[in-house]
């Protein structure tokens, strides 16, 4: 028997094109993993008739129904009443929820607006799903083997309630749902079609599916199925053919991998950025605990900052320009000396939309690396708009350095 | 009479959570502007029964139905046949479309896979919408005053066909549809419920609708309707009550507003960041052309960088700690001197998850500002996880400085 779910996304902002439905993406991934794939998603307006109609359709067809959005304190959030009406329940004021909301506001030293009382209204026979990150609790109703969850639209709050409270309920309720196991292999330095020449799905065990997931500037391979052994075998086959391009698996991201390698080696790192303007250091400092190895750096947008702070010689800038291998090398050396770190990265390039020339078109980026006394320079021509060139440049710098450090770890 | 549309998003990748439904966002914005707002969006699997059922519901309820996705060459794209079946038409091989597809492949010097012949199948009585960017054409069917469009899922192709071919058809078909005008007011320094206490929809002109759009750490107010005069009146009413919180309108973002204010004043800016680790400078340098005023800055993650580069006195760090108003003040002054800029920002705080204490919990952030000889210090306690605390801190710094500069611009 297949277990199915239907998601109802409530909120005018999605239909007005104001908000991307990232909650649907999250639920799609998580419910697939639980073996309760989403059959359908209904994105509807925050109106009683729409909510009633969607609930009617979803409650008939699916085992699990999850709504997101419409639990805020403002008047256009009618969801609570509509849900109560659909299931034929009365809304009741819940003292515990109200106490919790009051305590939340008190901790933040804020006055409690009267409108927040609406968030303490709970339909009878519903359970409350505690929201540790915000004021509106989630709601849970179970009847005749079916499960309904009403969650808020704020992504962080919704995700935490799903992972901590709903996933365990669903695992217990549907033990026969076959969890889908999957493994993502992250590759770098090889294009999708080149990779497709060496990795073939028909050489993998039959029980395993292979999906190609192009990321910005790199490709992920996803292998998935119900059979853990076959999955493991498939991973070994792929690694035997393309292992040199695989830098990480599953939820690992480039910054985490680099910070981990630096910690293993006991190396500190500093950064000098020009065109990426802080993005590379932002990515490194996304990693909690990075301060053990990441000491800081310099954003040298203006050439004066390059010459005065990083001691890039003025004659070098005059002769080769700020976007040059020579400047990248000098910036990396400069920041390594200035902050006295073991390792250093520099980036200089043209993110566009202006500033390109026939010799150095938009997307031209030079990378400088220092590992102790060793200096390395790399060059890439990256494609895309300003945002994606900057993102690719920062990520490429991280993965290039990680590649070098992996050699030292072997 | 209200003209309505329904969007059908076809494709397993949306329901599996691999792809964000950016096509819905685009269509939501464009159809709202045309006065044909989206009543509902159905995200469904690429299966015959699902497509039939969705078409039945949509064709009954809406004047305009648009499907996206499911027109690719691969075997799992059954959309064409399902559409033909639903409308009771035969699929026919269209020589013109086939010629076009062949020419497209020849221009790219590629072999034509046999599977692409499926893309030349067109239901009888349907019109072909030429796709200048890809191989699969769009399809258009009109009956009893209703309009159905089947478009591909590739965003670039879909958008071009909509803008160049569908929008003109709809404008001509529904001359009575009133284009919707809208105005977004971006607020800062006030929570959603506190704002709801001073702004009430029932005090605005009846012809105007008000939507609350919470962003991370701030709220946007959208007023929209068919009547430009009433919209203007509503904006004045809101500004009279909450004008001090409004920092921008419509597509403006905080960094753009700050860079524009700096350019107006002819001020250069530098930045010293600790907990945000480069994010603030990344946001500033997102703005193309920022180099005119943004000179660069320092990421002082390690205390050595604070003392050596920014000349924060060691005794200050010992006495008050790195997360303190005194350190924020000293960092701002230090980077202003080091880079010789008119204006400077500093941020120091605890982004978590570790490092908090009862006196300085996670989320404690101090901001230092220098405007010429004037120094300003601000303090905030921000909530959320590491990522959202860092994001709120960087954006708060930008908006606080923008607030100060607005006073100088008056």
Nearest CB to B42; choose among A40, A75, A213:
A40
Say yes or no for a CB contact (<8 Å) between B40 and A29: no
- For tokens 């250069």, name the residue: B268
Q: What is the mean pLDDT of residues A361-377?
A: 97
Residues of B whose CB is below 8 A from A337 = none
Residue of B nearest to A25 (CA): B17
B299–chain A Cβ distance below 8 A for any pair: yes
Nearest CB to A301; choose among B197, B294, B300:
B294
pLDDT higher than threshold 60 for residue B71: yes
CB atoms within 10 A of CB A163: 12
Angle made by CA atoms A50, B26, B59, in degrees to the nearest 5: 45
Beta-strand pair A343-349/A364-371: antiparallel
Give the relative orientation of helices A254-265 and A386-409 as an angle to the nearest 10 degrees: 30
Q: What is the pTM of this model?
A: 0.76
| Among the listed residues A391, A239, A271, A287, the one whose alpha carbon sits nearest the alpha carbon of residue A341 | A271
| pLDDT confidence of residue A384 | 78
What's the pLDDT tens digit per position in A41-51? 999 998 999 99
Cα end-to-end span (Å), chain B = 45
pLDDT higher than threshold 90 for residue A135: no
pLDDT higher than threshold 80 for residue B333: yes
Return the H-helix or E-strand segment holding B54.
Answer: helix B48-61
Q: What is the mean pLDDT of residues B199-210?
A: 92
How far is the C-alpha of B155 from the C-alpha of B111, rounded, in Å? Answer: 24
| pLDDT confidence of residue B327 | 98
Q: What is the mean pLDDT of residues A404-410?
A: 87
Chain A nearest C-alpha distance from B298 (Å)? 5
How far is the C-alpha of A277 from the C-alpha of A134, rounded, in Å? Answer: 33
What's the pLDDT tens digit per position in B74-118? 555 688 999 999 999 999 999 999 998 888 878 766 777 777 788
B40–chain A Cβ distance below 8 A for any pair: yes
Mean pLDDT estimate for chain A: 91
How far is the C-alpha of B172 from the C-alpha of B369, rounded, in Å? Answer: 54
Say yes or no for a CB contact (<8 Å) between A115 and B276: no
Q: Which two tokens stand for residue A317?
A: 């800038």
* Among A296, A352, A385, the residue to mutate for chain B (most B Cβ within 10 A): A296
What's the pLDDT tens digit per position in A315-330? 999 999 999 999 999 9
Count of H-run helices and E-run strands, chain B: 15, 17
Say yes or no for a CB contact (<8 Å) between B25 and A17: yes
Residue of B nearest to A273 (CA): B296
Say yes or no for a CB contact (<8 Å) between A278 and B298: no
| pLDDT confidence of residue B287 | 94
Dihedral of the alpha carbons of B191, B196, B198, B204, in degrees to the nearest 10 = 140
Contact B258, B233 (CB under 8 A): no
Q: Please report the residues numbered 187 through 246 in chain A whose beta carbons come closer than 8 angstroms to any beta carbon of chain B.
A: 211, 213
Q: What is the mean pLDDT of residues B44-56?
A: 94
| Among the listed residues A140, A113, A119, the one whose alpha carbon sits nearest the alpha carbon of residue A77 | A119
The burial of A132, by beta-carbon neighbours within 10 Å (0-12 exposed, 13-18 middle, 19 or more buried), is given as: exposed
Q: What is the mean pLDDT of residues A354-382?
A: 95
Q: Which domains does chain A have, with CATH numbers?
A: 5-173 (3.40.980.10), 181-249 (3.30.70.2860), 254-409 (3.90.950.20)
| pLDDT confidence of residue B17 | 78
Q: What is the mean pLDDT of residues A71-99?
A: 87
CB atoms within 10 A of CB B74: 9
Residue scoring higher pLDDT (A198 or B273): B273
Say yes or no for a CB contact (<8 Å) between B18 and A39: no
Nearest CB to B383; choose among A26, A108, A302:
A108
How many Å separate Cα B128 from the centre of its chain? 32
pLDDT higher than threshold 90 for residue B129: yes
| pLDDT confidence of residue A76 | 57
What's the pLDDT tens digit per position in B371-388? 999 999 999 999 888 998
Residue scoring higher pLDDT (A273 or B220): A273
Cis peptide before B332 (omega within 30 of 0): no
What ipTM was predicted for this assembly? 0.76
* Among A49, A273, A278, the residue to mutate for chain B (most B Cβ within 10 A): A278
DSSP A73: S
| pLDDT confidence of residue A387 | 87
Give the CA distances from residue A168 to residues A39, A59, A116, A129, in Å, rounded to whole numbers and listed in that order. 21, 21, 29, 12
How far is the C-alpha of B239 from the C-alpha of A90, rounded, in Å? Answer: 39
Q: Please report the residues numbered 20 through 39 in chain B whose beta carbons come closer than 8 angstroms to any beta carbon of chain A.
A: 20-22, 24-30, 32, 37-39
| Among the listed residues B167, B192, B185, B187, the one whose alpha carbon sits nearest the alpha carbon of residue B177 | B167
Count CB pairs under 8 A between chains A and B: 255
B363–chain A Cβ distance below 8 A for any pair: no
| pLDDT confidence of residue B148 | 98
Q: What is the mean pLDDT of residues B50-55?
A: 96
Q: Which of A164-178, B60-74, B360-374 has the highest mean pLDDT?
A: B360-374
B379–chain A Cβ distance below 8 A for any pair: no
Contact A92, B175 (CB under 8 A): no
| pLDDT confidence of residue B385 | 86
Residues of A whose CB is below 8 A from B194 = 110-111, 113
How far is the C-alpha of B142 from the C-alpha of B130, rounded, in Å? Answer: 17
How many Å separate Cα A35 from the centre of its chain? 22
């Amino acid at each position: 028997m297949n277990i199915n779910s239907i998601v109802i996304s409530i909120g005018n902002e999605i239909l007005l094109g104001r908000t991307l439905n990232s909650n649907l993406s999250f639920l799609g991934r998580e419910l697939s993993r639980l073996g309760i794939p989403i059959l359908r998603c209904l994105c509807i307006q925050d109106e009683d008739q729409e909510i009633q109609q969607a609930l009617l359709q979803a409650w008939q067809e699916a085992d699990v129904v999850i709504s997101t959005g419409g639990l805020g304190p403002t008047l256009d959030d009618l969801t609570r009443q509509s849900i109560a009406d659909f299931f034929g329940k009365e809304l009741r004021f819940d003292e515990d929820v109200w106490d919790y909301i009051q305590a939340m506001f008190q901790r933040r030293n804020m006055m409690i607006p009267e409108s927040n009382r609406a968030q303490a209204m709970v339909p009878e026979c519903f359970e409350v799903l505690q929201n540790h990150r915000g004021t509106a609790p989630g709601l849970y109703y179970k009847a005749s083997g079916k499960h309904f969850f009403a969650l808020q639209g704020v992504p962080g709050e919704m995700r935490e309630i799903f992972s901590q409270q709903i996933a365990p309920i669903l695992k217990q309720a549907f033990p026969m749902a076959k969890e889908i196991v999957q493994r993502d292999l992250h590759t770098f330095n090889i294009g999708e079609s080149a990779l497709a020449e060496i990795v073939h799905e028909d050489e993998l065990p039959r029980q395993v599916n292979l999906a190609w997931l192009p990321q910005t500037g790199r490709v992920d391979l996803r292998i998935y199925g119900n059979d853990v052994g076959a999955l493991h075998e498939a991973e070994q086959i792929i690694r035997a053919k393309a292992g040199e391009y695989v830098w990480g698996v599953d939820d690992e991201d480039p910054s985490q991998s680099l910070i981990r390698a630096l910690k293993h080696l006991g190396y500190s790192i500093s950064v000098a950025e020009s065109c990426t303007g802080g993005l590379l250091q932002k990515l490194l400092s996304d990693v909690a605990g990075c301060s053990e190895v990441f000491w800081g750096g310099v954003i040298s947008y203006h050439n004066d900052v390059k010459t005065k702070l990083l001691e890039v010689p003025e004659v070098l800038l005059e002769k080769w320009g700020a976007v040059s291998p020579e400047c990248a090398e000098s910036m990396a050396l400069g920041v390594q000396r200035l902050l006295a770190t073991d390792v250093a990265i520099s980036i200089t390039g043209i993110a566009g939309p202006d500033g390109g020339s026939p010799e150095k078109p938009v997307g031209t980026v030079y990378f400088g690396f220092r590992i102790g006394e060793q200096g390395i320079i790399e060059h890439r021509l990256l494609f895309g708009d300003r945002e994606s060139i900057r993102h690719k440049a920062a990520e490429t710098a991280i993965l290039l350095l990680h590649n070098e450090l992996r050699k030292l770890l072997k």
